[in-house]
Amino acid sequence: MTLILFKTLLILIIFLISLGIAAYSTYGERKIAAFLQDRIGPDRAGPFGILQPIADGVKMFLKEEIIPNVSNKWLFILGPCIFMVTALMTSAVIPWGLPLEISGVKYNLQVADINIGILYVLGVVSLGVYGIMIGGWASNNKFALLGAIRASSQMISYELAMGMSVIAILLMNDGSLSLNSMVENQGTGKLYGFINISGMNWNVFYQPVAFLIFLICAFAECNRTPFDLAESESELIGGFHTEYSSMKLGLYLFAEYINMFISAAVISCLFFGGYNFPGISYLQEILPANIVSLISVAVLFGKIIFFIFFFMWIRWTIPRFRYDQLMRLGWQWLMPLSIINMLISGAVLIWIRN
């Protein structure tokens, strides 16, 4: 099997898994919302309602497609496409597991191990805001425009704090931006230098503040409650996708869940050791490499699903922020906090290494 074939297959599989997880996130969201509110949620389509996403998808496709005639038609169509494409693109640099060995050749379970990995993620995520902005602008509707403005200013503000909090991790990683090397570093070495559990050297134990900042910013970047001001139904009737219908609306909603999936993956990779898990080196000794590799993939997906659950858990717990509160939190709390965190970790690292 050539490298090209393997990568193509991998891209296809990741694409399908992203879509599948996004579809089942909608189901999960409704179920979790229901459970947290003492209801049982959708349970009619198939056993426990597990066919609900398919029913929703069919519904989305069959709905009437309306393009407002005062809108800018091409931009109106472009908006959801950009949003979807950027959401799917981020998954390219995430290391999904230990390398697989097929007929003697090692294949990395990562589409592209580029040396600017995390920078690529931040860059592509910030491109996603164009999808919202273009969509909101092209709709020619004041609510859509307001939602788009809110979304773009919010995402730009929180990107700064997000980037700053990542710098602390980069310092620990000897300045390497590659996600693969970050995950590998978290799998080797002893925790705090003396606790010897293999595969447990996770960044979250060294950088809890950076983790907190990153998590909050991830919520803001994904437009999730408590920062869902861009589409607050009660104020803006859905915000930037007010004028959208049928599958174009579906793309927006879908891409949001893909974004959530990718942020969960990035959080797991940056702070929770990616595919590493306690006891990984022991398993590597007693099991064949490929099986450990598959287990590591499963572990990463376990972490991702936990974070997706966490996103939903937060959504059904905390009410929405006010807009000035959102901006104050972003600029006056998270920004300085992330800078201070960066300076302190830099100082501590220099002190340790000398």
Partner 1 sequence: MQLTNRAQQVVQKEMTLAERLYLPAIFAGLSITIKHLFKKKATLKYPEVKREFAPVYRGQHVLKRDAEGRENCTACGLCAVSCPAEAITMDAAERKAGEEHLYREEKYAAKYEINMLRCIYCGLCEEACPKDAIYLTDRIVASEFTRGKFVYGKDVLVEKMDDRIDVSQRKKHYSIVNN
Footprint of partner 1 (CB under 8 A): 32, 34-40, 43, 313-314, 316-318
Instruction: Tell me the closest approach of the beta carbon of residue 269 to partner 1, in angstroms.
Output: 24
Output the six-digit token pair for 60.
């989305």
Instruction: Tell me the closest approach of the beta carbon of residue 261 to partner 1, in angstroms.
Output: 21
If you write DSSP's letter for every residue of 301-343 in order, what string do you get? HHHHHHHHHHHHHHHTTSPPPPHHHHHHIIIIIIHHHHHHHHH
Q: Pick the closer one to partner 1 by CB: 37 or 354.
A: 37
DSSP letter assigned to residue 272: S
Long-range contacts of 326-330 (CB under 8 A, 24+ apart): 326/154, 326/220, 326/227, 326/229, 327/153, 327/157, 329/216, 330/154, 330/157, 330/158, 330/160, 330/161, 330/220
Instruction: Tell me the closest approach of the beta carbon of residue 258 to partner 1, in angstroms.
Output: 25
Provide the 10 A C-beta neighbour count for residue 17.
Answer: 14
Q: Pick the closer one to partner 1 by CB: 40 or 58.
A: 40
Long-range contacts of 197-200 (CB under 8 A, 24+ apart): 197/278, 197/279, 198/278, 198/279, 198/280, 198/281, 198/282, 199/273, 199/276, 199/277, 199/278, 199/279, 199/280, 199/281, 200/273, 200/276, 200/278
Instruction: Tell me the closest approach of the beta carbon of residue 204 to partner 1, in angstroms.
Output: 16
Instruction: Tell me the closest approach of the beta carbon of residue 213 to partner 1, in angstroms.
Output: 12
Q: Pick the closer one to partner 1 by CB: 43 or 113.
A: 43
Output the six-digit token pair for 277.
């898990």
Instruction: Using alpha carbons, list the distances in angstroms from residue 17 to 4, 231, 275, 339.
Output: 20, 26, 17, 36
Q: Pick the closer one to partner 1 by CB: 253 or 314.
A: 314
Q: Pick the closer one to partner 1 by CB: 20 or 208.
A: 208
* Amino acid present at 21: I
Instruction: Tell me the closest approach of the beta carbon of residue 36 to partner 1, in angstroms.
Output: 5
Partners of residue 107 on adjacent β-strands: 100
Instruction: Tell me the closest approach of the beta carbon of residue 161 to partner 1, in angstroms.
Output: 16
How far, in Å, CA of 67 to CA of 79, rounded? 13
Q: Pick the closer one to partner 1 by CB: 24 or 316.
A: 316
Q: Pick the closer one to partner 1 by CB: 138 or 335.
A: 335
Instruction: Tell me the closest approach of the beta carbon of residue 211 to partner 1, in angstroms.
Output: 13
Q: Pick the closer one to partner 1 by CB: 6 or 313.
A: 313
